[in-house]
Structure 1
Amino acid sequence: MPRLPHHGVRTPRRLPEGRQAGRTRRSRARRLRVVPRPRRRPREAGRGARGHDRLAHRQVRLLRDPPDLRKLPRSGQRPGLRVRGGEEDRGAEARDEAAGRDAADAGLGRDPERDLGGLAGARLRARRRPGLSVANVRSDDDARGVRTITIDRESRRNALDRATLDELEAALRDAASPGVRVVVLRGAGTQAFSAGADLKELLAHETLDDRRRHFDGVARVIRAMHELPAPVVARVQGFALAGGCGVAVAADFTIAAESAVFGLPEIGIGLLPMVVSAPILRATGSRKVVLDLVLSGRRVGAEEALRLGLASRVVPDARLDAEVDELAGQLASLSPAALRLGKEAIYAMAEMEYGAALRYLREMIVLTATTEDAREGISAFFEKREPRWTGR
C-alpha cells in the first residue's frame, strides 16, 4: 500500500496499557482504517444499460436530424431541429438559379419552366412580365397599376401544393416593379380563397427535406407579401382555411365577404398550423385568440373574424368585388413612395420596443418628407390641383 500524507488522516488514540491488554478482536475491527480509493475503471462504450441508452438516443438523433443538416446550430433552439440559415438560403438560391440557366440553355424537356421545381422554376417563371400565367397562378394588370393575382385551382378549392406556392411567390416577386402600385390576391371561383395545403401531396412526402420545402413555401409567400413595396389586398370569399387562412390574414388588407369562413383545422388531422400562427398572432395581438384557433381547430365566420382582427372589412357578397376595386383604386391614386415607406415602417415598428419605435418612426417621417412625392403633394395642395406622383 502506498504511503499516505498525514494531512487529514485521523490517528487512533493510544489507550492505557491495562486497557490495551484487554482489547478484543471486535474492538480491533472497529479501528479506523484509511485506504486509498481505487481508481474507477473506464466503461467501454455501449456496455451496460446506460451505454445502450446513449447509443439509442444517438441513433434517434441521427434519424431525426442527419449530420448534413446540422451545419448551423442556433442558440436556444430545440435539439434535433434546425432552421436553415440565411447563408444557406442564399447559397441554395444561387445554385437553383444556376440550375435554371443551365436547364434553359440545354432545352430541358418541352417546357423548361415546367421541368424545373423549387426556386429555380420560380425564378424562371417570374421572367414572364405583365400577363403572367402559369399552371396554377394567373396575373392580370389594369391601366391604374393594379395587378390581380389569382390562385387558379378552383377544382381543388385553390389548395396550395408546392408548385402553386412556388408560382405564387414568383408572381409576388414579379410584382415588385415600378408599374405595379397595388396587388389584389384572390382565389378562383366563389367556393374558396384557399382551402390550405394539398393533403395528397403532403402524404406523398418521404423525407424530412421534402416536408421542410413544402411548409417553407407558405413562409416564402408570406415573406414575399411583406417585402413587396406595393400594398397587398386579399379578396376573401368562401373558405380561407389552414395555410390559405394564414396567407389571407398576412395581406396588408383583408376584405372578406359575409359568407367567408376562416379557420385553422389542422389539429383535426394531427398537424399544427405553425407557420401561419405568426401572421395570425401579429394580426390579432392576442395569444389567447391564437391558442383558441390553433388548438380547437374551430372555424369562425366573417363577422367574428373582423372582431378578432383577422379581417379588415366585411361586406355583402354582392358588393365584394366593388369594395376591393374601390380600395385598390384609392391606393393606386396615392404616392407610391409614401405607401412603400409607410408599409415598411409599420412592419418594422411591430418588432421594436416602444422607445426604439418612437425614435425609428421619427427618422422615417424625416425620410418621407425628403421625397419628391412629398414636395409634389404639398405643392399640389396649395395649388389646388391633382398631384403627379413619381414614386421617388
Structure 2
Amino acid sequence: MNEPYVKKQIKGHVGTIEFFHPSHNSLPSVLLTELARTITAMGEDTNVKVIILKSGGDRTFCAGASFNELIEIEDEETGKTFFSGFANVINAMRKCPKFIIGRVQGKTVGGGVGLASATDYCMATKYASIKLSELNVGIGPFVVGPAVQRKLGLSGMSQIAMNADEFFSAEWALQKGLFTELFDTTEALDEAVESFSKKLCTYNPKAMTEMKTMFWRGTEDWDQLLMQRAKISGRLVLSDFTKEKLKTYKNS
C-alpha cells in the first residue's frame, strides 16, 4: 500500500486532509492539484468547522516538489505550470474560510515548508526540522517565499533560503513562530491536534471566519504574486547552472 494519495475524513465537524507519497511525501503535480481541490471543497462544506492538514508515514512531513518532474522540464510554460502547483495549494489554504491546523510529524523541505507556513496554527514534533533547499539547485523559494516570510519574518526566511544546505531545528522554527508547540512523540502531537481541533469546534464559526480574514489581510494579491513567482522559477529551472546541477543528481 505505497500508492500516492490525498484522502479526507470528517469526524465531529473536524475535517482531516491527509496526503502521502512513497518518496518522502514529495508532491508531484497531480497530488498538488488534488490537494488544492480537496482543501477548497472542505472549506465549502458547512458540516466542517476546522480542518487538519497532515501527511502519511512516520518520518517526513513533506519533501517538497517532485524531483522527477523537475528534471523533465523543457520549456518556460511547463516550468511555470510545475511551480504553480504549490501556489494553487497555498492560495486554496489562504482563501479557505476555515482554520487549518498543521500537523507536522517530521522533517520538511522546500514546498513542504510553504505548506506548513500556510496553515493557521501548526503543531510539530521535536524532529520537525526545516530546510529551503531551492538555491542549492539554482532556483529559489520564490513561490513559497511569501508564505514562509509571513510566518518567519524576512530575516528568518532569508536565513533558511540562503543557507540552503542546512536543516534548521524544530526549536528554531518554534522560536520564529512557524510552530506553536513541539512534542516528543507523534502520539503526543496527535492527541494535542485532536484536542485543540475539538475545542475550536465549540467556538462561533462566523467569528473564526472573520478572524481568518483578519489574519490574512494584506495577502489579497497572492493569486497574481505567486503566479509571477512561479514564472521566475520556471525560467530559472532552464538555466545552464540548474540543468547541470540536476544532471549530477540524476546520475548520482
**TM-score of the two chains, using structure 1 as the length reference:** 0.53
2:108 aligns to what SS in structure 1?
strand
Q: Tell me which residue corresponds to 1:272.
A: 140
Q: Which of 143, 156, 159 pairs up with 1:292?
A: 159
Alpha-carbon distance in 2 for matches of 1:228, 1:350: 13
Q: Tell me which residue corresponds to 1:332.
A: 201
Alpha-carbon distance in 2 for matches of 1:346, 1:243: 21
Q: Which of 135, 138, 153 pairs up with 2:7?
A: 138
- Residue 119 of structure 2 corresponds to residue 257 of structure 1: no
- Is the radius of gyration larger for structure 1 or structure 2? 1
Contact 1:246-1:277 at 8 Å conserved across structures: yes
Contact 1:152-1:188 at 8 Å conserved across structures: yes
User: How do residues 211-360 of structure 1 correspond to structure 2 at under 5 angstroms?
Assistant: 211-285=79-153, 287-297=154-164, 298-317=166-185, 318-348=187-217
Q: State the identity %.
A: 29
1:314 aligns to what SS in structure 2?
strand
Deviation at 1:193, TM superposition (A): 1.0
User: What do residues 45-104 of structure 1 show as CA deviations (whole Å, max 9, x unaligned)?
Assistant: xxxxxxxxxxxxxxxxxxxxxxxxxxxxxxxxxxxxxxxxxxxxxxxxxxxxxxxxxxxx
Contact 1:265-1:299 at 8 Å conserved across structures: no
Alpha-carbon distance in 2 for matches of 1:303, 1:165: 28
Alpha-carbon distance in 2 for matches of 1:200, 1:350: 31
1:275 aligns to what SS in structure 2?
coil
Q: Which amino acid aligns with 1:310?
A: L
Alpha-carbon distance in 1 for matches of 2:36, 2:150: 21
Aligned Cα RMSD in Å?
1.5
Alpha-carbon distance in 1 for matches of 2:26, 2:54: 12
Contact 2:99-2:120 at 8 Å conserved across structures: yes
Alpha-carbon distance in 1 for matches of 2:88, 2:219: 20
Structure 2 stretches of 5 or more lacking a match? 221-252
More strand by share: 2
Distance 1:278 1:349, change over 3 A: closer
Deviation at 1:186, TM superposition (A): 0.6
User: What do residues 216-254 of structure 1 show as CA deviations (whole Å, max 9, x unaligned)?
Assistant: 110110111111111001100111110011111110011
1:210 aligns to what SS in structure 2?
helix
User: What do residues 279-332 of structure 1 show as CA deviations (whole Å, max 9, x unaligned)?
Assistant: 1111122x2222211011121111111011221211221311001001111111
Deviation at 1:271, TM superposition (A): 2.1
Q: Which of 52, 67, 73 pairs up with 1:205?
A: 73
Q: Which amino acid aligns with 1:173?
A: T
Which structure has more relative contact order (CA 8 Å, sep 6+)? It is 2
2:178 aligns to what SS in structure 1?
coil
- Residue 27 of structure 2 corresponds to residue 166 of structure 1: no
Deviation at 1:270, TM superposition (A): 2.0
Deviation at 1:135, TM superposition (A): 5.3
Alpha-carbon distance in 1 for matches of 2:38, 2:87: 15
Alpha-carbon distance in 1 for matches of 2:41, 2:218: 26
Alpha-carbon distance in 1 for matches of 2:81, 2:121: 27
User: For this pair of structures, how many residues does the alignment match?
Assistant: 215
2:61 aligns to what SS in structure 1?
strand
Contact 2:4-2:19 at 8 Å conserved across structures: no
1:156 aligns to what SS in structure 2?
coil
**TM-score of the two chains, using structure 2 as the length reference:** 0.82
User: How do residues 139-158 of structure 1 correspond to structure 2 at under 5 angstroms?
Assistant: 139-142=8-11, 144-153=12-21, 155-158=22-25
1:240 aligns to what SS in structure 2?
strand
User: How do residues 52-91 of structure 1 correspond to structure 2 at under 5 angstroms?
Assistant: none
User: What do residues 246-286 of structure 1 show as CA deviations (whole Å, max 9, x unaligned)?
Assistant: 1111100110111111110122222211111111111122x
Alpha-carbon distance in 1 for matches of 2:84, 2:66: 14
Structure 1 stretches of 5 or more lacking a match? 1-133, 352-392
1:310 aligns to what SS in structure 2?
coil
| Greater than 3 Å deviation, 4+ residue runs | none
Alpha-carbon distance in 2 for matches of 1:263, 1:281: 14
Q: Which amino acid aligns with 1:151?
A: F
